[in-house]
Copies of this chain bind each other. A is one copy, B any other.
Amino acid sequence: MLRLPALLLLLSLGSVCCPPGVLSGLPLGSRRGPPGRAQPPRAALYQTRYFPQKIDHFGFDQDLTFQQRYLVADQHWRKNNGSILFYTGNEGDITWFCNNTDSKHLNYLTSEQALADFAILIQHLKETIPGALNAPVIAIGGSYGGMLAAWFRMKYPHVVVGALAASAPIWQFEDLVPCGTFYTIVTNDFKKSGQRCSESILNSWGAINRVSSTDEGLKWLSSAFHLCSPLKSKQDVAVLKAWLSETWVNLAMVNYPYKADFLQPLPAWPIQVVCKFLKNPKLPDKLLLQNVFQAANVYYNYSGAASCLNTSQSATRNLGLMGWYYQACTEMVMPMCTDGVNDMFEPRKWNFHVFSEECFKLWKVKPRPSWIPSVYGGKNISSHSNIIFSNGGLDPWSGGGVTRNITDSLTAIVIPEGAHHLDLRASNPSDPKSVLQARALEVQYMKQWIEKYRHKH
């Protein structure tokens, strides 16, 4: 987390129910994406507070409120002349959500409501925290929270003087970027991390298909992958493949230069470790698949504690992700596709129709794929100002991010050696130079925004 000399750090935890910062990789059966926060807040450093927030900012029928949870870290707060960093959160307590999981309540789980929550909360805080009334506020967020940070500055420039949108794929919508970009970047990460590594994964799909075509093969696969539930049908095999795809995607997102425990406990540069098992794509099917198991095991069992692997573990339907599933089925429609040529995955086209029908079955809602570009401007955002878009070159989400300067005050930072919002993580001796430079530049921009604000007031 970035720190400015005198700051009040506010972490706001989502809207209505608190969608984790995950993004859809739906076409491969995976909806799990990047978590939104670099590190869990340490209890001692943060106070937890609640604010009664309108359930619906945009209608008056519903006058109900919910208790929005937020965290305040004021140990660096300077009453006179302080600044506020407002973290546009993407995780949180889903108890309320869990108890109210029908689409009537989900109806208010939108980015627009979240931004309105932020605006009202900040106003409340400025009015109630001594010295905060005229303090400049900067929005910071990563992943979905990064999108919210950018959109917040666009729609509420009177509330925040600027925004740091880290690994925020605001262009992963409609045809703003090619649907294959995401999985191409994942593939490149594997290409760079070990000779013939991506080729091995590309070949593994055919191997799975061939081996799983007999009952004996299904049994062998279940055992070779140490699966908790043995494979019984073609559909189970599809789930296995989706689970593997998601594993490679997640590894790309958390391909950090040091040992970390984010999605899973992992070694430094985990893809390099994975690729050590994937050097020979031409092996016979079963040998290749045994290696694939070893590779996947790096992700799921680096600690050595798992007795078997659960293919529903990562594409889990746990309630913490249900909010995002709903959002992906309404506003956050992110087209993705693979072709097996530019990427190492089985070819799958983006089929909005199928996607839409699945959404309707699940939630009785119809996705509106053009809404996000309509409301937030798509690529036509040059009239806004004071947003930093930071991207990791290794992060598949950078494909839908802003990686080139749009104007003098809508600037892009690319961290070539960075995975998913590496810049927001705590500093580490193994941090590459590029992320140190990125952080320094981010602080420099923030200082400029603050100075300009103070000059005006």
Contact = CB atoms under 8 A, between A and B. Distances in A.
A380 interface: yes
Interface in A356-382: 363, 365-366, 368, 370-371, 374-375, 377-378, 380-382
Given A119-B374, A157-B384, A383-B157, A366 B60 contact: yes
B384 A108 contact: no
Given A158-B383, A383-B157, A384-B157, A330 B374 contact: no
B119 A58 contact: no
Contact of A63 (B108, B366, B371): B366
Stoichiometry (number of copies): 2
Given A155-B155, A383-B385, A113 B58 contact: yes
Interface string A116-140: 1001100100000000000000000
Nearest to A112: B58
Interface string A38-65: 0000000000000000101111110100
Contact of A158 (B54, B331, B371, B380): B380
User: Which of A58, A156, A371, A384 has the most C-beta atoms of chain B within 10 angstroms of its own C-beta?
Assistant: A58
Nearest to A103: B61
Interface in A175-218: none
A455 interface: no
Given A63-B365, A63-B366, A57 B371 contact: yes
A365 B158 contact: no
Contacts of A119: 374-375
Given A119-B374, A374-B119, A60 B330 contact: yes
A359 to B, nearest CB: 9
A363 B385 CA distance: 40
Contacts of A384: 157
A163 B28 CA distance: 45
A378 B158 contact: yes
A61 B104 contact: yes
Contacts of A368: 54, 60
Contacts of A116: 374-375
Interface string A51-91: 00010111111010000000000000000000000000000
A110 interface: yes
A110 B59 contact: yes
B107 A365 contact: no
A314 to B, nearest CB: 27
A55 B54 CA distance: 21
B110 A58 contact: yes
20 contacts: A57-B371, A57-B375, A58-B59, A58-B113, A59-B107, A60-B107, A60-B110, A60-B330, A60-B331, A60-B363, A60-B365, A60-B366, A61-B107, A61-B365, A63-B366, A119-B375, A120-B374, A155-B155, A156-B377, A383-B385
